[in-house]
Amino acid sequence: MFFQDRDIALDCINSQKLLNNTYTYAVSEASNASIRNDMVSILNDEFNNQYMIFEVMNRRGWYKPFAANQQDLNNAKNDVNNLNNQMQSVWKNMSQGMQGISNQYSFTQTPTYQYGNQTYGDRPGQDWGGATNSSVEKAMWSNIGNYANQEIGSVNPSPSEKNANLTGSAGYAANQSQSQYGASQTYRTQNYGDRPGQDWGGATNSNVEKAMWSNIGNYANQEVGSANPSPSERNANLNNQR
């Protein structure tokens, strides 16, 4: 068996790379602190070993990785930068929602409440049937009382109160881009981010809400029978479902 120097170096660096992997696994699986510390420092050593061999090979011209294709590099830069721009605005909204400082009516911060097997947004109103005389709904009303007070000003506001609050808030409907509704656009299956009707202030004449109506129109048709049901229609449907 005759190894040239190049073959020796190649085998050295390959086996060194494999050993790096097994030590990574060893570190991840260690629960004993002193073993883990030693494994980490050994792993560091192994990386250095591999780099020493790499340097020798590199000087000899034995290690020639392919250069990145310029076109692929440009494409990757574009893709990542575009995605990064999108994610920046997403993350901005997330941190606002978590801090709860601005955008009081943004859906991202809205907790949901479980009723039967349905999850609702926390804004009270017509879509629970507007009925506050059942004990179930009374219990729910009291539980969401605090939040509803923050949001709407009273636990069971009159429609005009609610309209005033909703239209008065800059962040609520007009500022939401349609894509932000995308995730919660199911109607009557929960999440009610985008429920039509009273919870939007009953106003279907703003462009934003019209667009949302048309987006959920198909689903609303299946469920309610028409894209813009009257309150009585809607109550009838909700009662059927209960």
Q: Could you say whether residue 9 binds other proteins (CB under 8 A)?
A: yes
| Binding flags for other proteins, 57-96, as an x/- string (CB under 8 A) | --xx------------------------------------
- Separation CA 96–CA 180 (nearest Å): 14
Q: Could you say whether residue 56 binds other proteins (CB under 8 A)?
A: yes
Amino acid (1-letter code) at residue 106:
S
Whether residue 40 contacts residue 49, with contact meaning beta carbons closer than 8 Å, is answered with no
Tell me how far CA of residue 95 lies from CA of 84, 106, 141, 191, 228, in angstroms.
16, 12, 28, 20, 34
- Residue selected from 40, 97, 104, 115 as contacting other proteins according to rule CB under 8 A: 115
Amino acid (1-letter code) at residue 19:
L
Candidate segments 112-120, 147-155, 156-164, 198-206, binder of other proteins by CB under 8 A: 112-120
Residue environment code for 155-165, b if the CB has 16+ CB neighbours within 10 A, otherwise e: eebeeeebbeb
Q: Could you say whether residue 15 binds other proteins (CB under 8 A)?
A: yes
Nearer to other proteins, 113 or 219 (CB): 113
In degrees, to the nearest 5, what angle opens at C-alpha 151 toward C-alphas 223 and 87? 75
- Separation CA 163–CA 126 (nearest Å): 13
Candidate segments 11-19, 92-100, 194-202, 212-220, binder of other proteins by CB under 8 A: 11-19
Q: Could you say whether residue 233 binds other proteins (CB under 8 A)?
A: no
Q: How far is the CB of 19 from other proteins (least distance, A)?
A: 6
Name the phi and psi angles at 118, rounded to 5: -110, 145
The closest of 203, 130, 129 to 173, measured between CA atoms, is 203
Size of the site for other proteins (CB under 8 A): 38
Residues 141-170 that bind other proteins (CB under 8 A): 143
Residue numbers of the site for other proteins (CB under 8 A)? 3, 5, 8-9, 11-12, 15-16, 19, 22-23, 25-26, 29-32, 34-35, 38-39, 42, 45-46, 49, 52-53, 56, 59-60, 113-116, 136, 139-140, 143
